[in-house]
Amino acid sequence: MKREMNLSVNGTQRSTLTQPERPLLDVLREDFHLTGTKFGCGEGECGACTVLVDGEATRSCITSIGEVEGRAIETIEGLEIDGALHRIQQAFIDQQAVQCGYCVPGHIMTALALVRNKPNCPRAEIVATMSEHICRCCNYSRILAAVEQVVG
C-alpha cells in the first residue's frame, strides 16, 4: 500500500507517496530525478548505488524507502556547494579516477564516509573498504590514489 513518506535528501525535506518496500535507489532516481546514484547490480554487491544514510555508506538498491523514513540521505548531487567541489570530488578529477565514470558516484560516497569518519585510515583499510565496490573499467589504482589524496 502506498503512503506518504518523508525524508531529508541533501538537506532538503522531501516527500513522496509510494510503497514502503520500494528501493531507495528507485525513489531517488524516479521520484526525485536524482540520477547521479546508479543502478549496478540490485544485490548490494557493486556499490554503484551507494548513498549516505545518517552519514553511513549504504547500498540504496537493497534498502527500502520504508527503512530510511525520516532519516537524512546524502547523494552525490549534494557534495558540490555553490560551484565548489568537495575535495574528494576534486581528488577523483586530479587522479584521473574516471574512465566511463558510471561507478564513480558510488565510490565517492563511500570515500566521503571515510573522509568524515576515518580521515587517518591506513591504506590496508582503505583498500578493504573500497574493494566493496566494482569498477569494470578496472581503474582501481587511480581510485585508490584519489581516496589517498584525501584520506590517510
Question: Would strands 3-9 and 72-74 be described as parallel, antiparallel, or unpaired?
Answer: parallel
Phi, psi for residue 6 in degrees, rounded to 5: -115, 140
50-53 and 3-9 strand pairing:
unpaired
**With binding defined as CB under 8 A, does residue 92 bind other proteins?**
yes
Q: Which is nearer to other proteins, 29 or 58 (CB)?
A: 29
For position 112 contacting other proteins by CB under 8 A, the verdict is no
Residue with cell 574516471: 98
Give the type of residue at 6. Answer: N
Closest approach of other proteins to the CB of residue 130, in Å: 5
The residues that touch other proteins, with contacts defined as CB under 8 A, are: 18-19, 21-23, 26, 29-31, 33-43, 45-46, 48, 75-77, 79-80, 85, 89-90, 92-93, 96, 98-105, 108, 127-128, 130-144
